[in-house]
Chains A and B, each alone.
Chain A
Amino acid sequence: GQQLNQSPQSMFIQEGEDVSMNCTSSSIFNTWLWYKQEPGEGPVLLIALYKAGELTSNGRLTAQFGITRKDSFLNISASIPSDVGIYFCAGHLTYGGSQGNLIFGKGTKLSVKP
């Protein structure tokens, strides 16, 4: 099946540090979405990207839709303890039998030390 390679798998950082994570694929995507999941909860949408090259911010979060349409990154600036959680990238493929289905990366687990 289609795969999204998300890295890193986990990060342990100090409060105040910046964070960067990314997703890559060999397939072309129509959309890139970034979600955050906290324990016992469902994924919550952080940022949605719909155009190649698009750079979008949501507070301290910034995400970009790669120009090749095969990758995306998420940056978190000046991390705080409540940033702790698992961050997932997801995307909609442009073609094929799974068109329209949302494909997920395996997540980046973020831990922030106060």
Chain B
Amino acid sequence: NAGVTQTPKFQVLKTGQSMTLQCAQDMNHEYMSWYRQDPGMGLRLIHYSVGAGITDQGEVPNGYNVSRSTTEDFPLRLLSAAPSQTSVYFCASSYSSQTEAFFGQGTRLTVV
């Protein structure tokens, strides 16, 4: 039972590069979300999706794009990486918007 799978686990980017962080879940959850975790800041919501084809912005959406073409996948795209986007990124899924979320193992991103 894989749960929520994130790839890659580590990534180093140069300023201005773009990349996509992958997230997949095998629990048939409708609700998926992306968070970033910075020291002393807890987890902050970047984007979320309540189902295939529907996405919305969270607390810190600038510099990130998402799409949800299938129930299983919710990739996060960095359009032009900046050092301020150095962080640990977590994808989560839940049965609905009001139930417990299950997290992936995270992607540690460094932008130089």
A: which residues have CB within 8 A of B?
Answer: 1, 6, 30-31, 33, 35, 40-45, 48, 88, 90, 92, 98-102, 104-107
| Chain B residues, Cβ within 8 Å of A48 | 99-100
Q: Enumerate B42-69 residues with CB–CB distance to A below 8 Å.
A: 42-45, 48, 50, 58-59
| A90 smallest CB distance to B (angstroms) | 8
Pair B98/A101 contact, Cβ less than 8 Å: no
With known contacts A41-B105, A42-B104, A92–B42 Cβ distance under 8 A: no
The complex places the Cα of A30 from the Cα of B99 at a distance, in Å, of 10
| Chain A residues, Cβ within 8 Å of B105 | 40-42
B33 CB within 8 Å of chain A: yes
| Chain B residues, Cβ within 8 Å of A35 | 103
Pair A45/B98 contact, Cβ less than 8 Å: no
The complex places the Cα of A31 from the Cα of B41 at a distance, in Å, of 21
Q: Which 8 A-B pairs have the closest CB atoms?
A: A100-B97, A42-B103, A106-B42, A104-B43, A104-B42, A48-B100, A43-B103, A42-B105
B: which residues have CB within 8 A of A?
Answer: 4, 31, 33, 35, 40-45, 48, 50, 58-59, 90, 92, 96-106
| Chain A residues, Cβ within 8 Å of B106 | 40-42
Partner among B35, B43, B98 whose Cβ is within 8 Å of the Cβ of A31: B98
The complex places the Cα of A98 from the Cα of B45 at a distance, in Å, of 10
| B6 smallest CB distance to A (angstroms) | 8
| Chain B residues, Cβ within 8 Å of A41 | 105-106
| A46 smallest CB distance to B (angstroms) | 10
Q: Which residue of B lies closest to A42 (CB)?
A: B103
With known contacts A88-B42, A107-B42, A42–B90 Cβ distance under 8 A: yes
With known contacts A41-B106, A42-B105, A1–B59 Cβ distance under 8 A: yes
Pair B31/A100 contact, Cβ less than 8 Å: yes
The complex places the Cα of A107 from the Cα of B44 at a distance, in Å, of 12
